[in-house]
């Protein structure tokens, strides 16, 4: 998944979801890695056999992929029933990085860093910062807020 074939996604803070960006009636081509990052982190990925909920959910196309191809999505959905603590934060970072690692393998990123921090434990809010270094050495930063009570990402910072 590289920038050259992606359509730009943008976050709608009122509806709390990402949608395709248009310029009039034309699709806007992606000029950064946001579309790849959004699809990678926010699409439900297949769980692993050692996960609490093994092999459920996830994109059905992953069952048809060729050997060596990367799964689509992340395992972030596994965190929806968990209490907010340091373990959840660590798992969120790991799941986000795992879902973005294919960008490095494909050569569209030199490095990926995912850092999660608890914003408000009582309200169930966790921040996820994603830094992606592109092949030119430029850093692309994305910030998202996870709302554990609503069990979804509620926006960009």
In this prediction, residue 6 carries a pLDDT of 80
Residues 4-14: pLDDT tens digits?
Answer: 578 888 877 77
- 33-91 pLDDT, tens digit per residue, is 888 888 889 888 888 778 877 666 777 777 777 777 777 889 888 888 788 999 999 99
Q: What angle do CA 127, 144, 103 make, to 5 degrees?
A: 110
Please, what is the average pLDDT of the chain?
83
Mean of the pLDDT values across residues 125-139?
93
Do 94 and 105 meet the contact criterion of CB atoms below 8 Å apart? no
pLDDT of residue 156: 56
Least confident residue range of 9-13, 35-39, 96-100, 132-136: 9-13
- Do residues 45 and 62 touch, judged by C-beta distance below 8 A? yes
72 in Cβ contact with 56 (< 8 Å):
no
Q: 68-72, 79-83, 100-104, 119-123: which range is least confident on average? A: 68-72
- In the chain, where are the structural domains located? 33-156
Question: What's the pLDDT at 151?
Answer: 62
Q: Which CATH architecture has domain 33-156?
A: Roll (3.10)
Q: What pLDDT is stored for residue 93 in this prediction? A: 96
Query: Which residue in 71, 78, 81, 73 sits closest to 53, CA to CA?
Result: 78
- Spatial separation of the C-alpha atoms in residues 39 and 37, rounded to whole Å: 6
pLDDT at site 157: 46
% of the chain exceeding 70 in pLDDT: 89
- pTM over 0.85? The answer is no
């Amino acid at each position: 998944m590289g920038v050259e074939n992606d359509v730009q996604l943008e976050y709608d803070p009122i509806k709390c979801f990402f949608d395709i960006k248009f310029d009039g009636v034309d699709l806007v081509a992606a000029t950064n890695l946001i579309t790849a990052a959004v699809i990678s982190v926010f699409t439900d990925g297949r769980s692993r056999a050692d996960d609490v909920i093994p092999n459920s959910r996830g994109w059905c196309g992953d069952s048809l992929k060729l050997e060596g191809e990367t799964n689509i999505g992340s395992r972030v959905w596994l965190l929806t029933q968990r209490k907010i603590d340091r373990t959840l934060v660590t798992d969120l970072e790991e799941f986000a990085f795992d879902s973005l690692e294919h960008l490095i393998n494909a050569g569209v990123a030199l490095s990926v860093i995912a850092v999660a921090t608890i914003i408000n434990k009582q309200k169930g809010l966790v921040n996820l910062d994603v830094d992606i270094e592109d092949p030119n050495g430029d850093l692309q930063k994305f910030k998202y807020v996870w709302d554990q009570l609503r069990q979804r990402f509620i926006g960009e910072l």
